A and B are shown apart, each in its own frame.
Chain A
Amino acid sequence: MTPLLSVRNLRKSYGALKVTDDVSLDVASGELHAIIGPNGAGKTTLIHQLSGSLPSDSGTVHLAGEDVTDLPMVARVRRGLARSFQITSILDGFSVLENVALAVQARSGSSFRFFRPAASETALNAEAMDALGRVGLADRAARRAGSLSHGEKRQLELAVALATKARLLLLDEPLAGTGPEESAILVGLMRELKSTHTLVLIEHDMDAVFALADRMSVLVYGRVIASGAPSVVRSDPAVRAAYLGEEEAA
């Protein structure tokens, strides 16, 4: 079966700095593929390249067998790819519901409609409420998004990604900056998302990664130094030396 996401020989350099160095990986439909690596390893850059917000120097990205290497982000989103951001990126001035309803709006009918108030479109609101319900934010729907706690904002980002009805979610450190309670909620959420979505998860929290990942890749200086089942990767000597060892030492 063709993998949902297939990356071949992807490269990106900033001057002499190879940030993405010949990265190849496959993500099968339905699996959660974690990408770990120390700070500055190039994880966020890779997400940018996969989502289409940053052009690659060379290499290819296929989504469900289709070459999307040269497609911009918007076109990839329409083909079922959604992403979250390492640094929370929501519309602070909009209501929580509206943040999600916009993502529904993006895929249901034309947005060149000028007279009907968007906030009263019950079909959009109902779908948005479903997504909010899934991430446990239903009771926050009417709040201004900017007034949410940090953890709730991360939940909102997930709801927005869900509302795009994407098949593949790229999550860039969804637990970044969250406290233990918030992160427990988010981990529970991601476990649920696993049953309906294919996920690429970048995360620093090793407990979360080993609890969730079906497969994982380790990125160091832009290169994938190990890839496979978590139990295999965990005992890989190169990984222990380059990354997990540091973590234990720290």
Chain B
Amino acid sequence: MSTLVARMAAAPPRRRAVFPGAALAGLVLAALAALPVAAEAAGLPFLVVTATRMMIFGLAALSLDLVLGYGAMVSFGHAAFIGLGAYAVGILDAHGIRDLAVQAPVAAGACALFALVTGAISLRTRGVYFIMITLAFGQMAYFFMVSLAAYGGDDGLPLSGRSTLFGMRLIEGDPALFYCVLAVLTAALLVLRRVVASRFGRVLRGSRDNAVRMQAIGFSPLPYRLTAYVIAGAIAGLAGVLLANQAEFVSPAYMSWQRSGELIVMVVLGGMGTLVGPVVGAAALIALEEVLAHYSDHWRLGLGLMLVAVVLLSRGGLAGLAAKIGRRA
């Protein structure tokens, strides 16, 4: 029997490999790494900016997936963490602290704390009430920043420039920022992949699927859900740090409830509980925004139709659709 155990340990069940995952990931990474050079050569430098933006929101959507896809917590206030992360940069910058070595930990820490406090309260509720209460906290954060006149209030707050890293001006250029964002996103993906497969992730997934069953074997879901909420908040805060740096500007608009809604759309569009899916969902949404907005002011209508189509065709979002096609091929 021990050989059976060993065999199963070696080959964990239920791996839905669509493509040889590692090879595909390597290919995507290589293509992305080449993008700034290719865009430069093709005379399309704006592509780098757009791709950077996609990855920043991909990072935020990825973090939301931990909460939404793996925890079944429909947080409608996730953009607040992006905003708080961005304001951590803006406010520190206004006081002459421009280094990421300080800004990033402060942003992640502030977001983790905000997540801990608001999560401890929100997670007493489930379902629609949870949606409403996270929305309410998100709006509170939004209006707090709107009323913060010392830091620009409604008008937002321009940065003095992009952040430094250990005193070096590393992300001054757009290609450099692109690589920085790519590195952070890749690291976050790899870390979260481990997290969802860990003991912690297993309890989180189990509680999502059947909380009563989990209690019956001795787990209270709350501490695990709260921890996931805090991790996700901190990562979204890092997305905010990157967003502030890309725009060299922070604004309450980053944390409006529409933004939170868009993050949910990215996750659902890409495929909940797949990690990579929401990143693709973010890229797809931003691409659609750019393309459709080019043709019509009513691009959101087109977006709505596409969302309905994807959700109807495959509950698993784009990731599920890819898996379906992969199986058929």
Stretch at the interface among A12-20, A57-65, A112-120, A242-250: A112-120
- In the complex, whether A107 has a CB less than 8 A from a CB of chain B is yes
Residues of B within 8 A of A89 (CB): 210, 212-213, 216
Chain A interface residue count, CB cutoff 8 Å, equals 49
Minimum CB distance partner of A115 in chain B: B194
Among B194, B210, B212, B218, the most chain A Cβ lie within 10 Å of the Cβ of B218
Stretch at the interface among A77-85, A197-205, A216-224: A77-85
Residues of A within 8 A of B150 (CB): none
Instruction: Report yes or no: B213 in contact with A141, Cβ–Cβ below 8 A.
Output: no
User: Quick one: which of B277-322 are within 8 Å of A by CB?
Assistant: none
Instruction: Report yes or no: B200 in contact with A97, Cβ–Cβ below 8 A.
Output: no
User: Quick one: which of B176-210 are within 8 Å of A by CB?
Assistant: 194-195, 197-203, 205-206, 209-210
Shortest C-beta distance, B267 to chain A (Å), equals 18
Instruction: Report yes or no: A90 in contact with B213, Cβ–Cβ below 8 A.
Output: yes
Instruction: Report yes or no: A105 in contact with B199, Cβ–Cβ below 8 A.
Output: yes
Residues of A within 8 A of B220 (CB): 72, 74
Instruction: Report yes or no: B212 in contact with A74, Cβ–Cβ below 8 A.
Output: no
Minimum CB distance partner of B10 in chain A: A120
Shortest C-beta distance, B203 to chain A (Å), equals 5
Minimum CB distance partner of A163 in chain B: B217
Residues of B within 8 A of A98 (CB): 13, 202
Instruction: Report yes or no: A122 in contact with B5, Cβ–Cβ below 8 A.
Output: yes
Among candidates A73, A78, A102, residue contacting B203 with C-beta atoms closer than 8 Å: A102
- In the complex, whether B95 has a CB less than 8 A from a CB of chain A is no
Residues of B within 8 A of A102 (CB): 202-203, 206, 214, 217, 219
User: Quick one: which of A11-44 are within 8 Å of B by CB?
Assistant: none
Among candidates A97, A114, A129, residue contacting B1 with C-beta atoms closer than 8 Å: A129
Instruction: Report yes or no: A74 in contact with B8, Cβ–Cβ below 8 A.
Output: no
- In the complex, whether A177 has a CB less than 8 A from a CB of chain B is no
| Bound: A97/B12 CA distance, A | 10
Binary interface profile of A, 106-130, with partner B (CB < 8 Å = 1, else 0)? 1100111111111111100110010
- In the complex, whether A183 has a CB less than 8 A from a CB of chain B is no
Among candidates B12, B13, B216, B224, residue contacting A117 with C-beta atoms closer than 8 Å: B12
Among candidates A91, A112, A115, A126, residue contacting B213 with C-beta atoms closer than 8 Å: A91
Shortest C-beta distance, B108 to chain A (Å), equals 16
Question: Contacts A90-B210, A91-B210, A118-B198 given: A77-B217 contact, CB under 8 Å?
Answer: yes
- In the complex, whether A94 has a CB less than 8 A from a CB of chain B is yes
| Interface of B (DSSP majority class) | helix
Shortest C-beta distance, B235 to chain A (Å), equals 13
How many interface residues does chain B have, given as a range? 35 or more
Among candidates B13, B205, B215, residue contacting A74 with C-beta atoms closer than 8 Å: B215
- In the complex, whether A227 has a CB less than 8 A from a CB of chain B is no
Instruction: Report yes or no: B200 in contact with A114, Cβ–Cβ below 8 A.
Output: yes
- In the complex, whether B9 has a CB less than 8 A from a CB of chain A is yes
| Bound: A248/B4 CA distance, A | 48
User: Quick one: which of B214-259 are within 8 Å of A by CB?
Assistant: 214-220, 223-224, 227
| Bound: A115/B6 CA distance, A | 20
Shortest C-beta distance, A3 to chain B (Å), equals 23
Shortest C-beta distance, B228 to chain A (Å), equals 10
Residues of A within 8 A of B201 (CB): 114, 118
Shortest C-beta distance, A50 to chain B (Å), equals 12
- In the complex, whether A2 has a CB less than 8 A from a CB of chain B is no
Residues of B within 8 A of A119 (CB): 9, 12-13, 197, 202
Question: Contacts A78-B218, A119-B9 given: A144-B197 contact, CB under 8 Å?
Answer: no
Minimum CB distance partner of A110 in chain B: B199
Q: List 10 A-B contacts (CB under 8 A).
A: A91-B209, A94-B206, A102-B206, A111-B219, A111-B224, A114-B199, A117-B194, A119-B13, A125-B5, A125-B8
